[in-house]
A and B are shown apart, each in its own frame.
Chain A
Amino acid sequence: MSLRRTAAVARRILQQFRHDPRTLGLLFVAPLIILGLFYFLIRGGSGVPAVDVVNLDGGPVGAVLASQLQASTQIEVTVTSPARAESDLANDRTAAYIVLPADLTASATSGGVVAAQVHLEGTQPGLTEPVLAALDQSEATLLGSLGAENSAHLPTIRPSLAYLHGGPGLDTLDYFGGAFIGLVVFFLVFVVTIIAFLRERSQGTLERLMASPLRRADIVAGYMAGFMVVAAVQAVEVALFTLYALHVHNQGNVALVVLVTLLLALVAVNLGIFLSMFATTEFQAVQFIPLAIVPQVLLSGIVFPVSTEPGWLQGLSNVLPLTYGVDGLRDVMLKGLGLGSSSVLLDLGVVAAFAVALVLAATATLRQRAS
């Protein structure tokens, strides 16, 4: 091995970086953006799960437990009526509601069973865990104070859990499976499209197409149609594999799962075409993955619930197509909702609107970039 030749290769690599400030920028800026997002999602979240507490107990124990829950930093508690709590949960305004039963004080002081009823929304484990942890902590504090007063008759704490969607029979894959279907298809279709369209430009065929009777819209629509054929097969394959080979829980219509996935693929195709306009090499195209895909994975609610993000990040999440795709897939697969649901219609509509907007953007920039 020759040190001089090795140094020549290394020097040439550094020279190439010097001529490509965009790649350098990405190497040094993208990690800060991604790690910064993790920071805000994990530590910076001012948002914690919203939880209603219904205190049916007229005695002091219910009042103490409710105030301890309100003091918890892991959840944001509103004390309300049973009807309001049920409505909030059904309409995704809360992650759970906790009912403190009428006999709570009597049971607690007589050393009986303290059975707070926890009604969980259930589709996002990330929201369920802090609710249960907050209740656990509050009950432990309660036990401590009761024990100080009367150690002979300590109550047994046994909360009962009820799930609006999902349930204890579901595992982690059941919760994330729907989101993963959308993510896998979105990511792969995006990568294939951006590279394919860039190749069209780098090999000179795009210029040739622009010198033919093809119009910009013909090219974009042709790409869309061609890739959608493959994406459709992929969406069906991924959905069927997930549901029937991996046995991921699905309460909804399989066709609707495929439809949401297809719409996400449509967005991915057009996002790929659009972003390829801003890359001149395949190397630069791949750089769009950490910038366009990773933030969407972090902010679309796949792992970190959007409702627990800091307010400004929620604003960002709400303008990302994957957020609506993931929400739609969860609505269908975990909640069993269909086209009659306004939430599903909103998700489908927003994803479709993103697809249309990106078609227009890709078409508009095509001419400019070709010349």
Chain B
Amino acid sequence: MSAAGPAVRVEELVKSFGALRALDGASLQVGTGEIYGLLGPNGAGKTTLIRALVGLVAADRGTIEVLGRRLPDHAVLAEIGYMPQSAALYADLTVEENVEFFAAIHDQGGAAARPRVTEALELVDLLARRRSVVATLSGGMRQRVSLACALVHRPRLLLLDEPTVGVDPQLRAELWQRFTEMSAQGVTLIVSSHVMDEAERCQRLGLLRFGRLLAEGTAAELRRLAGVERLEDAFLALSEPSR
């Protein structure tokens, strides 16, 4: 964890939806500038945890601190970039119009936002398709537009819920290169993923199951903990219900 102190601190978070306990006392800390991977099977609580970090889910118990502010805190949302699991976009607008809109609602509209919009579109390799209507794009391209929308305002904390689903391997590698650069510039990233080679790129990983953090550490630490060679095997071994 970075010496700059935690960008995110979650303590004993509990959230139930009816009889379903989505988060059951989850606790974690993510350092400033760190890339933290959230791993876990479907229904483990990854998405609920990410949504709680942007105030979309109100916890039943526990505390959340983001960028030094205890939630709920509306002001902190200006410094967070959130990319939900499904590409939540305006399908009838163009790629550029979508990104411009998300810049504008972060108070970065007009001509001043142009370079940022261009930069975000370059990052996701969609500058050439900026005038395309989103409805005409493939699923992978929409994911990339969604990512551009999440980072156009240059957030200090980027929450990415399975950001590279449908993205081809080459662009995925390029995106991770940019994530690493952003991390070096002090941006904190929390990424949920099922893709193991992506998990390998995270500086630390947290394995969630049944709404609890079962294990935490670098990829190498998790492999060692499970006593296996591959991260995928570690994931399977550590996710065993019997553990």
Q: Are chains A and B native binding partners rather than an unrelated pairing?
A: yes
Residues of A within 8 A of B (CB): 203-205, 207-215, 370-371
Once A212-B102, A213-B77, A213-B105 are accepted as A-B contacts, the answer to whether A370 and B86 lie under 8 Å apart by CB is no
A207 touches B77 (CB 8 A): no
Say which residue of A205, A207, A215 sits within 8 Å of B74 (CB atoms): A215
B57 touches A371 (CB 8 A): yes
* Residue numbers in A under 8 Å from B89 (CB-CB): 203, 205
Sample 29 A-B pairs with CB under 8 A, ordered by A number: A203-B89, A203-B90, A203-B91, A207-B51, A207-B56, A208-B82, A208-B84, A208-B88, A208-B102, A208-B149, A209-B105, A210-B55, A210-B56, A211-B51, A211-B55, A211-B56, A211-B80, A211-B82, A212-B78, A212-B105, A212-B106, A213-B74, A213-B75, A213-B78, A213-B105, A214-B105, A215-B74, A370-B56, A371-B58
CA–CA, A203 and B90, complex, Å: 8
* Residue numbers in A under 8 Å from B58 (CB-CB): 371
Query: Chain A nearest CB: distance from B8 CB in Å?
Result: 15
Residue B107 at the chain A interface, CB threshold 8 Å: yes
Residue B54 at the chain A interface, CB threshold 8 Å: yes
Q: Which of B67-120 contact A (CB under 8 A)?
A: 74-75, 77-78, 80, 82, 84, 86-91, 102, 105-107
- Which residue on B lies nearest to A208, using beta carbons? B88
CA–CA, A368 and B106, complex, Å: 22
Given contacts A208-B84, A211-B77, 5 further A-B contacts (CB under 8 A): A204-B88, A210-B55, A211-B51, A211-B55, A211-B80
What is the predominant secondary structure among interface residues of chain A facing chain B?
Answer: loop
* Residue numbers in B under 8 Å from A371 (CB-CB): 56-58
* Residue numbers in A under 8 Å from B84 (CB-CB): 204, 207-208
- Which residue on B lies nearest to A215, using beta carbons? B74
CA–CA, A218 and B77, complex, Å: 15
* Residue numbers in B under 8 Å from A215 (CB-CB): 74
* Residue numbers in A under 8 Å from B75 (CB-CB): 213
- In this complex, the member of A207, A208, A370 whose beta carbon has the largest number of chain B beta carbons within 10 angstroms is A208
Once A370-B56, A371-B57 are accepted as A-B contacts, the answer to whether A213 and B88 lie under 8 Å apart by CB is no
* Residue numbers in B under 8 Å from A205 (CB-CB): 88-90
Q: How large is the interface on B (under 10, 10 to 19, 20 to 34, 35 or more residues)?
A: 20 to 34
* Residue numbers in B under 8 Å from A214 (CB-CB): 105
What is the predominant secondary structure among interface residues of chain B facing chain A?
Answer: loop
Query: Chain A nearest CB: distance from B50 CB in Å?
Result: 10
- Which residue on A lies nearest to B91, using beta carbons? A203
* Residue numbers in A under 8 Å from B149 (CB-CB): 208
* Residue numbers in A under 8 Å from B105 (CB-CB): 209, 212-214
- Which residue on A lies nearest to B80, using beta carbons? A211
Say which residue of B86, B87, B106 sits within 8 Å of A213 (CB atoms): B106
Query: Chain B nearest CB: distance from A78 CB in Å?
Result: 60
* Residue numbers in B under 8 Å from A211 (CB-CB): 51, 54-56, 77, 80, 82
* Residue numbers in A under 8 Å from B102 (CB-CB): 208, 212
Query: Chain B nearest CB: distance from A250 CB in Å?
Result: 38
Say which residue of B80, B88, B91 sits within 8 Å of A207 (CB atoms): B88
Query: Chain B nearest CB: distance from A294 CB in Å?
Result: 30
CA–CA, A211 and B149, complex, Å: 12
CA–CA, A204 and B51, complex, Å: 13
* Residue numbers in A under 8 Å from B55 (CB-CB): 210-211
Say which residue of B51, B77, B88, B106 sits within 8 Å of A203 (CB atoms): B88
Query: Chain A nearest CB: distance from B66 CB in Å?
Result: 12
Say which residue of A203, A208, A213 sits within 8 Å of B107 (CB atoms): A213
User: Which 9 interchain pairs have the tightest Cβ spacing?
Assistant: A204-B88, A211-B54, A213-B78, A211-B82, A208-B88, A205-B88, A213-B77, A212-B105, A204-B86
- In this complex, the member of A211, A214, A215, A370 whose beta carbon has the largest number of chain B beta carbons within 10 angstroms is A211
CA–CA, A208 and B86, complex, Å: 11
CA–CA, A247 and B69, complex, Å: 63
Query: Chain A nearest CB: distance from B131 CB in Å?
Result: 20
CA–CA, A209 and B101, complex, Å: 10
CA–CA, A205 and B149, complex, Å: 11
* Residue numbers in B under 8 Å from A370 (CB-CB): 56
- Which residue on B lies nearest to A203, using beta carbons? B88
CA–CA, A204 and B142, complex, Å: 13
Query: Chain B nearest CB: distance from A5 CB in Å?
Result: 30
CA–CA, A203 and B105, complex, Å: 18
CA–CA, A212 and B74, complex, Å: 8
* Residue numbers in B under 8 Å from A208 (CB-CB): 82, 84, 88, 102, 149
